[in-house]
Structure 1
Amino acid sequence: MKRAVKILGWTTGIFIGLALIAAGTIYFVATSDYLRGQLEGRASEMTGRKTQIARVAVEWGWTSNLKLEGIEIANAQWGKAPYMLKVDQVDVDIRLWPLLGGNLVLPRVVLRKPEVQIETGDKEQLNWSMDETPVVTGAAKALEPDNRFDAPVIGRLEITEGKLGYRDPKRKLELDGTVSTATGKAEDAAELSLKGKLEGQALEVRFVGGSVLMLRDTDQPYPLDLDVSFGGTKLKMKGTVQDPFKWTGANVDLTLSGPNLSDIYPLLGIPGPPTPPYTITGKLERETGLWKFVQSKWRVGESDLTGEVTIDERRKPAFLTAKLVSQKLVFEDLAPLVGATPARKTNVSAKQAQTQAQLEASGDLFPNVPLQVEKLRAMNMDVTLDAKRVIAPPWLPVQALAFRVLIQDGNATVKPLTLSVMGGGTIAGEMAIDARTDDPKVKANLRATDIELKNFFRQSRYFDATQGKIQGRVVLAGNGRSLAQVMGTANGHMAFALGGGSVSSLMVSLAGLQIFDALVLYVTGDNRIPIKCAVSRLNFQQGNVAFDRTLLDTQKSVLHVKGQLSLKSQALKAEIDSDPKSFDLLDLHGAVMIQGKLRTPQVSLGRVIPIPTPVFGNAKDVPCAGLTQEVLSAP
């Protein structure tokens, strides 16, 4: 018996000794430079980048603890930053028993002072892309959860003093920020905050959502609340998603607001058009490779729109489709599209108000505000707008507007473009902007049909005495990055004709300086003078405009307009001569001179004889039909 106990004791002692030796060996290997070197080598092979780990420490148990300190992964050779990833310490608790069932349970994950540098090279390659780090990116893709229930169980995730940097020299985008998280439990919320700069403007991101543990331990919809502030642009997402990895079962409200919709490009990568201050609300949905913004309501300036926007990420570049309808479109809200500012003082951004003040101070009409048309290369688009009711200034009788914009690789075509005018007339045609180069080319080909003349004199004393229908043609082409530059290089022509109608006798008398008629009409009131013919053709050559065959034929006289306009300097010099058809008691024998800046020209008298004297007119009627055909159809 004693012998058996002795043998058993020796056997037990040997096993305990071997276990102690094995444990000591494992502990030595786990804490030695050998293991650290092995980890560095494997990590370098996977990432394709030199990886350094300063220290490795393991505490064994059913819940083991792994600490990696001084981790640094080198950047791509073309990168500017000295490293792609740097972490002071990774502190992870791992439960060993669930690993046997294929479940990864991490009660605690702590990243202390992680620094991530994301860079884009000259060829638009990303330092974190699969092409740059194929092994690690492929592994990450393979480990990416297919749904919320495949996600690792993390009881506590903590990121302290995290830093994020983004550099894209080609797009002149820079982002630097900090990342941190609060402790999250199943019943608590997880928080993420980020502050930094993007294109020199402050960027702040705040996210509140369900805890990481909630992803697996419940089938309740995952709550999220995201606030993003970029300069004056505000983005807010709030709601729930059944599966945030697939973005299925989403009930998420999205609100976007700011001073100018074009400011969203650095933030969202969507080339929005220049607008007055706006607020957009709607629901955000997603299918595989397709984002949908539905049930959207837009308030842009004083205009209202509704519709649906989709972005197809499966196409390269991404393709945006928007179908918008407006029951109230204020025409002045379209002014920012060409760099101009709505005439009203409300609903304009500070930058737009500054542009307007500069135009008023300089006397210029066309703004020289650079439009960032190169953004058209970022995304292809198909956008339609149907404005059922347009509210336009008195001098512009547009009552409805519809167009379709197609953008393909930076080449934008507005076709068809139709403006419905009061009285049944239309302005229709197409426009194009070729932004495939840094010197965009702009073209316009429009035709005006049966435009009621009187509608241009709404809210004036000439309205009731004016009638007739205008036909017109606009064929212009120019290049530049602003409306002022495009007009300053414009070639082509504008032509208009009125085959018959009437205008205010007072307006004609004042223009022709027939003082006797004007004095009588001031006392007795306005009356109507029949128009036999009116034509005008403006020829554009590199921004210089010449008046060609521009006249107004009435019963009493023929008014001729001569002169020129420089769209580069935006200066006008023209004169109106009256050629009477019959005797007039009082006439100044001089032309009306119009000179100065196009925005605010000055009107004066070009006197030949200093006192009014009688004149015997002998002007003849102009051949209207032939002249109209000639003016409108000439190339």
Structure 2
Amino acid sequence: MTTTTPDTQRVRHPILKILGGIALALLLLILFWSWDWFVPLVNSKATALLHRKTTIAHLHVHLGRVTTIKVDDLRIEQPKTFEKEKDQFAQAKSVTVSVDVWSYLWHRTLHLPLIALEQPTADIIALKNSLNNYTFTEDGKPAKTPTKQDASSSTSLPDIGELRITDGNLHVKYDPLQADMQVAVQTTPPQGNDRGTLHLQAKGRYAQQPITARFIGGALLSFVADKEPYPVDLTVQNGPTTATLKGDVVHPMSFAGAHLKLHFAGPDMSLLYPLTGVPIPRTPAYSIIGNLDYSQNHILFKDFEGKMGTSDIGGTIELDPHQKPMNVQADLHSRQVNLVDLGGFIGAKPTKTAAEKKQDAKNKTVLPDTPINIPRLNAINAHVTYHGAHIENKQLPLDNIDTEFFITNGAIDLKRLNFAVGHGTLASSATLKPDGSLFDTNARIDFARIDLARVMQATTNSKARGIIGGHMTLKAKGNSIASLMAAGNGGLTLVLDQGGDITAILPNIMGLQLGNAILTALGLPSHTDIKCFIADMPLKNGIVSTNTLLLETGEARTLGRGTINFKTNTLDYSLTTRAQNPTIASLPGAFNITGAIKSPTVLPGAEILGRAAAAAGLGFVFPPLALLPTIQLGVGDDSRCARAVQAVNDNPAAGIAPGSLSHAVGTKSSVAPASKPHATSNPKKTSGKASAPKPHEGRMTPAEVRAAWDAKLKKQGKN
């Protein structure tokens, strides 16, 4: 039996007192404990971390296996560089975070079952000088670019179960894109395996245009962490442009790809530049739909189809936005295309107003003087191919279009711009290098076996016929077709073979009044057939002169000389017609065409000065044999023009051989006709008609034609 002595009682009494005191203290601490005691510490740590004053009003902690931490009245002020802004950088009525403590203690994984933001707001600002208020660095200093070692050593994101946002609102002001909008943010709670959805509603201005947007996607955390495809449903109305994007994104954070259907429509594709970053010339109204995919390096808009004006358009466009400037590869096609719809790609407006048409009529320039306006060439490097299988345009006789061009560091290299015209081809190439507001231009156009009947029926409903061949070169600096020609060097060599009825051609080409006046001055019989027309006219410093101008019919030969001045838009030209057949009555002599190109005057000319002067106009304009390659490649090696050139050189109607002095036989300064290898000694066969050429006489093999053609173009290029 143990007995308690008074000493033992004295020993236990202090222990009981101590234990009782501790118990009482714990009870009092539990009864009066406030987590708000830690608010100053939280404010201090958050301010240091975010580099801007951060405060909370209250702190609540509910301990347990899953511990919940809640702060009330969170306020984050603007950094010092934005302290004049009237709104806080961010604030929220409350922020709640739940932490799975058991998971962290036993598995060392940070699992946050819930992050909830109640009535959060934020004021996001970026200025044009790259300064922004959402980079959390020391005031005024840019964010440090992380090294690969930093990236590899950074901690992974925690496992977050739900991000809940109630009545959120963002104000976004992004000056580089001229954007200023309000964005309402709301989430829906998870249901079963569905982690919920994210809803955004935006309204404001973007690229100086009003914008509204609606986005419904998977939960924000699904975008960051889930391996399942992330659903996307976006509708944007930016000014008159509408875009929708629907589908899903595969592993968004690893750029694994997407299955998205993109549809956009509007009155002008050039308005897409702020949305896409890709400069596009002006176009008519359009509606395009296709598949959008992406990887770490490329954005791919593939297999798209749609309408642009009255044309259909389709193909694939690939972008690499990481290169500076952006790299664009486009492979485009149309089944049926109206060239009017492509006018913006060469600086023209898709449609002209009545006032603009009236202004064009008053303009004294005969060529378009609208500045070439290819926008923002330095914004991209591009390689574009385009093929239009069938051209629909009542005003143009073209059948299809095939083109390829490069844009590199602001320069355009047009590899080809080819049109089919029946069995013929209109082929062109050019380079345009920007020089301030001008383009340093080098261009070439080749005409091969183009059917005049197709051209005239499409433009004037005329029954004219014939085959056109030749080429044109231009080297100049300017910003419009008119300014390029006014400063240009190059020339035009054009051949019309078997041209048909002259009365069906001239009035339609030159205008009814001028064409009829020239027909009268020529004195040719009504409905005379053009056997051959040749023009070889060099261009130097904006002035066209004449090497050769020959119009040959069955009855007469017309030769021309003079200049066309594209600097002053005036011409000074004279034509002389002489009968080839002695049975035909004498035709009028020379006449002059002078004045403004748009409205010239036709007057008698050299006939007043006498027949000798008129004959003098025939000596230096005979078509040289050097034109045979152009003729044979342009209209065919067995053409009337090829034979006419040979005949004119062998037996000139004026009795003066090429190379002789240009004076008629019998005048004071005349020189006897030079003998020619093909001329016959029989005077009956040289009385005025051309000798009939023997088989293959004067003709060249295809290899000779190509060699002569290349030599001629090379010589022109040097000049």
TM-score for the superposition, normalised by structure 1: 0.78
**Bigger Rg, which one:** 2
Q: CA deviation at 1:243?
A: 3.9
Question: Which deviates further from its counterpart, 614-623 or 551-560?
Answer: 614-623
Pick one of 181, 187, 190 that aligns with 1:186. Answer: 190
> Does the Cα contact within 8 Å between 1:412 and 1:434 map onto a contact in 2?
yes
Residue 513 (str. 1) matches residue 515 (str. 2)? no
The corresponding residue for 2:180 is 176
Task: Return closer, same or farther for 1:610/1:546 CA change in 2, 3 Å cut-off.
Answer: closer
Distance 1:56 1:142 in 2: 37
In the TM superposition, 1:401-440 aligns within 5 A as 401-428=401-428, 430-435=429-434, 439-440=438-439
- Which residues of structure 2 form unaligned runs of 5+? 1-8, 507-514, 631-711
Q: CA deviation at 1:116?
A: 0.9
The corresponding residue for 1:48 is none
Pick one of 132, 144, 149 that aligns with 1:134. Answer: 144
The corresponding residue for 2:79 is 74
- Which residues of structure 1 form unaligned runs of 5+? 45-50, 343-347
> Does the Cα contact within 8 Å between 1:495 and 1:537 map onto a contact in 2?
yes
Task: Return closer, same or farther for 1:66/1:74 CA change in 2, 3 Å cut-off.
Answer: same
Distance 2:238 2:453 in 1: 47
The corresponding residue for 1:273 is 281
Question: Which deviates further from its counterpart, 471-480 or 104-113?
Answer: 104-113
In the TM superposition, 1:515-594 aligns within 5 A as 521=526, 526-531=527-532, 533-541=533-541, 544-549=542-547, 551-555=549-553, 556-560=556-560, 562-566=562-566, 571-575=569-573, 577-581=575-579, 584=585, 587=588, 590-593=591-594
Pick one of 251, 266, 269 that aligns with 1:258. Answer: 266
Q: CA deviation at 1:120?
A: 3.2
In the TM superposition, 1:283-298 aligns within 5 A as 283-298=291-306
Residue 156 (str. 1) matches residue 165 (str. 2)? yes
* Higher RCO (C-alpha under 8 Å, 6+ residues apart): 1
Task: Return closer, same or farther for 1:511/1:626 CA change in 2, 3 Å cut-off.
Answer: farther
Corresponding residue SS for 2:50 = helix
Residue 205 (str. 1) matches residue 213 (str. 2)? yes
Q: CA deviation at 1:237?
A: 0.9
**Structure having the larger proportion of residues in strand:** 1
What per-residue deviation string (whole Å, max 9, x for no partner) do you get for residues 129-187 of structure 1? 7982228999998999999x966621235422x3111223xxxx422111112342336
The corresponding residue for 2:44 is 37
Corresponding residue SS for 1:458 = helix
Q: CA deviation at 1:297?
A: 0.8
Corresponding residue SS for 2:142 = coil
In the TM superposition, 1:158-557 aligns within 5 A as 158-160=167-169, 162-168=170-176, 173-186=177-190, 189-212=197-220, 221-246=229-254, 248=256, 250-342=258-350, 348=351, 355-356=356-357, 358-360=359-361, 362=363, 365-369=367-371, 371-373=373-375, 375-392=376-393, 394=395, 396-428=396-428, 430-435=429-434, 439-459=438-458, 466-480=465-479, 483=480, 486-487=483-484, 490-498=487-495, 500-506=497-503, 507=505, 510=516, 512-514=518-520, 521=526, 526-531=527-532, 533-541=533-541, 544-549=542-547, 551-555=549-553, 556-557=556-557
TM-score for the superposition, normalised by structure 2: 0.70
The corresponding residue for 1:103 is 111
- Code of the aligned partner of 2:164: G
Q: CA deviation at 1:474?
A: 1.7
Distance 2:354 2:626 in 1: 44
> Does the Cα contact within 8 Å between 2:215 and 2:235 map onto a contact in 1?
yes
The percent of aligned pairs where both chains have the same amino acid is 19
Distance 1:323 1:208 in 2: 32
Task: Return closer, same or farther for 1:296/1:145 CA change in 2, 3 Å cut-off.
Answer: farther
Distance 2:607 2:435 in 1: 58
What is the aligned-residue RMSD (CA, Å)?
A: 4.5
Q: CA deviation at 1:203?
A: 2.7
Q: CA deviation at 1:586?
A: 7.2
